[in-house]
Amino acid sequence: MTDLNKLTIAAARDALRKGEVTSAELTEACLGAVEGAGALNAFVHDTSDLARDQAKAADERIKGGDAPAMCGIPLGIKDLFCTKGVVSQAASGILEGFKPEYESTVTQNLFDAGAVMLGKLNMDEFAMGSSNETSVYGNAVNPWKAGGQELTPGGSSGGSASAVAADLCLAATGTDTGGSIRQPAAFTGITGIKPTYGRCSRWGIVAFASSLDQAGPMTKDVRDAAIMLEAMCGHDPKDSTSADIPVPDFEAMLTGDIKGKVIGIPQEYRMDGMPEEIEKLWADGTAMLKDAGAEIRDISLPHTKYALPAYYVIAPAEASSNLARYDGVRYGHRAKLEQGDGISEMYEKTRAEGFGHEVQRRVMVGTYVLSAGFYDAYYNRARKVRTLIKRDFEQVFDQGIDAILTPATPSPAFGLGEMAEADPVQMYLNDVFTVTVNLAGLPGISVPAGLDKQGLPLGLQLIGRPWEEGDLLNTAYALEQAAGFVAKPEKWW
């Protein structure tokens, strides 16, 4: 077999079980691809020794005959996941050199299933960003190019998206607070699912906005997303918001049959100034689902417009609270102090040196909206609007809608540095189609569905009912089959 790094999880699993390939061979192929892809800056911490040990153990287990689907599969892990004894920095200077003494539940679940960790992946600092340009490690780069220009892989899971799209690993973990799995997946032509809030344990994932954060897989196709998601989820007593409900066999639910399913098309997602190509992709996707036997219905989600402003109150508020722990005392960076400096100077200097600009800005915005006199006007009002956004979805689901189809992003991948001079709100607009899903706690998946005129991938998003990831994945599978997206970036790195 050649190009083992290009395999899907499903193909690799089948080949491993038949004894046609070993995990050691898969792992070497991926490590070789990673080594040759420095220009993408996707992998930022090397764990090749650990990977080789894990692959060896996986091969033993596969020989034993009862290995789970993820056994022996080489993955990249987003730097937001705490991995025992391996540097975990959330792409921030303030966690310089931090080596957790514990393993996040999601990575532990994957390792228990026999998965192999190739290394840690680049991301926006503390998952705050939509372009992977706020990382202490520097920009991750999209393997897709347009007219010779280097493009963003999206963010915050930019390294994950770049690594999967460039076949440096078979799949990667991501996390999604406002769109951080789905937007980079769309920008790089891969699949990414954010499950229902509570499906994946948040324990050991560096916290950004705890009421919105969810982990999920970023994969080469929908089947792989089903396989890997199942391995990541499950109840965890260490996360009080983790759902104690059974995890179904998601892959077994991929029949491709969506006859009689009702797909909602929300009118509020038709934005002014939306590029024609996105509009057309959305119409094409609608037609594909209709051809596959689904009923298409126009729906209204009237509070959509207020999702982004509500998010930019709630997420910074939670971040300002979560990031209060970075004080230079227990881990990471501490500023050098001058004679006479006390503990306040230590906090202030440490946080000024350790946090990047975007993180500082969001922490301070969060501090402001939570401060005396503004708490009601901003934070409480945003939480009320969040209730209304969730109610919009509940009402359409009550009317019999099974899934909602929208564009994943308002544009294809843009150039690195292109937004440097724009005001921060312009960057925030990247999440306009994805952020509602986090606010309502719903599952959402981004599926590559076409190319724009420059040859860059575009994604469609499907939003499902809570806890019905299996049904959502099946609709995504039907869309994937109809769209037939097979394009890959031309190798330049």
Partner 1 sequence: MSIDKETAAKVAKLARIRVEDDALPALAEEFNNILGFIEQLSEVDVEGVEPMTSVTPMRLKRREDRVTEGGMPEKVLSNAPDAREGFFAVPKVVE
Q: How far is the CB of 174 from partner 1 (least distance, A)?
A: 19
Reduced to 3 states, what is the DSSP secondary structure of residue 118?
strand
Q: Quick one: which segment of 16-24, 75-83, 170-178, 361-369 binds partner 1 (CB under 8 A)?
A: 361-369
Of 123, 80, 83, whose CA–CA distance to 358 is shortest? 123
Reduced to 3 states, what is the DSSP secondary structure of residue 462?
strand
Residue of 180, 201, 242, 446 marked catalytic = 180
- Residue 420 makes contact with partner 1 by CB under 8 A: no
- In terms of CB distance, is 254 or 365 closer to partner 1? 365
- In terms of CB distance, is 276 or 338 closer to partner 1? 338
Of the candidates 179, 466, 470, 489, which one interacts with partner 1 according to CB under 8 A? 466
316 to 335, contacts with partner 1 by CB under 8 A? Answer: 320, 324, 327-334
Q: How far is the CB of 48 from partner 1 (least distance, A)?
A: 23
Of 415, 414, 430, whose CA–CA distance to 130 is shortest? 430
- Residue 45 makes contact with partner 1 by CB under 8 A: no
CB 475 within 8 A of CB 403: yes
Examine the residue annotation and report whether 201 is marked as an active-site residue of this protein.
no
Residue of 23, 78, 92, 131 marked catalytic = 78
Of the candidates 66, 259, 342, 421, which one interacts with partner 1 according to CB under 8 A? 342
Q: How many residues bind partner 1 (CB under 8 A)?
A: 74
Q: Which residue has the tokens 């009912």?
A: 465
Radius of gyration of the chain (CA): 21
Q: Quick one: which segment of 26-34, 50-58, 282-290, 439-447 binds partner 1 (CB under 8 A)?
A: 439-447
- Residue 159 makes contact with partner 1 by CB under 8 A: no
Q: Quick one: which segment of 28-36, 51-59, 386-394, 472-480 binds partner 1 (CB under 8 A)?
A: 386-394
- Residue 313 makes contact with partner 1 by CB under 8 A: yes
- The pattern of x and - marking residues 233 through 262 that bind partner 1 according to CB under 8 A reads ----x--xx-xx------------------
- In terms of CB distance, is 22 or 89 closer to partner 1? 89
Q: Quick one: which segment of 116-124, 169-177, 436-444, 474-482 binds partner 1 (CB under 8 A)?
A: 436-444
Pairing of strands 149-150, 43-46: unpaired
- In terms of CB distance, is 70 or 404 closer to partner 1? 404
User: What backbone torsions phi and psi does residue 278 show, to the nearest 5 degrees?
Assistant: -70, -45
Residue type for position 307? A
The b/e string for 273-299 (b: 16+ C-beta within 10 A; e otherwise) is: ebbebbeebbeebbebbeebebbeeeb
Whether the link from the prior residue into 156 is cis, omega within 30° of 0, is yes
Q: Which residue has the tokens 């918001």?
A: 241
Examine the residue annotation and report whether 78 is marked as an active-site residue of this protein.
yes
DSSP label at residue 62? H
Residue-by-residue DSSP string for 196-254: -TTSS--TTBPPS-TTT-EEEEEESSHHHHHHHHHHH----TTSTTS--SPPP-TGGG-
- Residue 395 makes contact with partner 1 by CB under 8 A: no
Q: How far is the CB of 352 from partner 1 (least distance, A)?
A: 4
Of the candidates 13, 194, 386, 465, which one interacts with partner 1 according to CB under 8 A? 386
Q: Which residues contact 64 (CB under 8 A, 6 or more apart)?
A: none
- Residue 390 makes contact with partner 1 by CB under 8 A: yes
Of the candidates 267, 300, 371, 399, which one interacts with partner 1 according to CB under 8 A? 371
Of 42, 28, 10, whose CA–CA distance to 164 is shortest? 42
- In terms of CB distance, is 48 or 367 closer to partner 1? 367
How far is 392 from 407, CA to CA, in rounded Å? 18
- The pattern of x and - marking residues 257 through 286 that bind partner 1 according to CB under 8 A reads ------------------------------
- Residue 388 makes contact with partner 1 by CB under 8 A: yes
How far is 84 from 79, CA to CA, in rounded Å? 12
Burial class (CB in 10 A: 0-12, 13-18, 19+), 14: middle
**Where in the sequence numbering do the catalytic residues fall?**
78, 156, 180
